[in-house]
Structure 1
Amino acid sequence: YVRQLADALSYCHAKRVIHRDIKPENILLDQKGNVKIADFGWAVVASHSRRQTVCGTLDYLPPEMISGKSHDHTVDNWAIGVLLYEMLVGKPPFEYSDQSQTLQAIMHCRFIIPPFVSEGPSDLIRKLVVKEPSMRLSLAGVMAHPWVVGMANQQHTQQSTHQHTHHVTNTPVATA
């Protein structure tokens, strides 16, 4: 799903559209398991590369939005990292009961990846959830990340195997 999401956002960014509200509720799957991005309510067609509006969902806001600095398409890259973290851990990386603590954790990019998250996705999260926007992994980098490529290959292999599986029932053969 991460590869499909990065690919879809890459298409949006090529059309100068920044989604700005990537979160689980806005990622849909069709009947074949293909990712569809929903709710473009906070999206913007960027006539220039940097924006100033603070928008989106608190747990997914990057530091530059919280601090009121201008932002660009890399806010969506940040959100992919936060989304991946939430998919694997079950909660966002910056979730606190107090909103000011959440804001401080985001501003300082302070989060812990639990040890049960394997190295591949941990590495990808660490390359996306980065305070400095220009240092975040590009969407092309996400799609080329070894863990993402490995998952895509694994999924392709499973689909190929499933397509070539024949259903056979064991029927006892009577012997005379």
Structure 2
Amino acid sequence: MSQHIREATPDDVPAILRLVRELAEYEREPDAVEATEESFRSTMFPAQGDPTVFGHVGEVDGEVVGIAIWFLSFSTWTGTNGIWLEDLYVTPSQRGTGLGKALLATLARVCVERGYRRLEWTVLDWNAPSIAFYRSLGAVPMDEWTTNRLAGDALTDLGIP
């Protein structure tokens, strides 16, 4: 079995979307995925301008079986960018093989090489296996912080006076 981590390419978009759908199933939200191949292409590989979302894929024997989808964050306290990991997912048959750790290590390396001071993400409170995995790597939960989200009608109501 040959594992390989690399930056995502436009040819990976179908596999990325497949894995996002698997993740939604795992997170008990199978109907929540609205993303399309076109929406991934336009943000990750735009025809004009710079990408706003980035990705790395994990391959086993040439098949994409893991993803790390991320974007830049910014800390006013450190005055530097960081990486916000939107999704880390490894298909169930490949869990425990080191692929998830390799994906995170790749992002940590990007942070170190570019002078970014943080690699951050959220994890569902009920996802005990992932929480244990992240803690085993030295991740520290930010329990005193609560993620907030404006979406749907609330976003529209606030954004359009």
| TM-score of the pair, normalised by structure 1 | 0.23
Q: Which has the higher helix share?
A: 1
Determine which structure has more spread, i.e. the larger CA radius of gyration: 1
Q: Which has the higher strand share?
A: 2
| TM-score of the pair, normalised by structure 2 | 0.25
Highest relative contact order (Cα 8 Å, sep 6+), 1 or 2?
A: 1
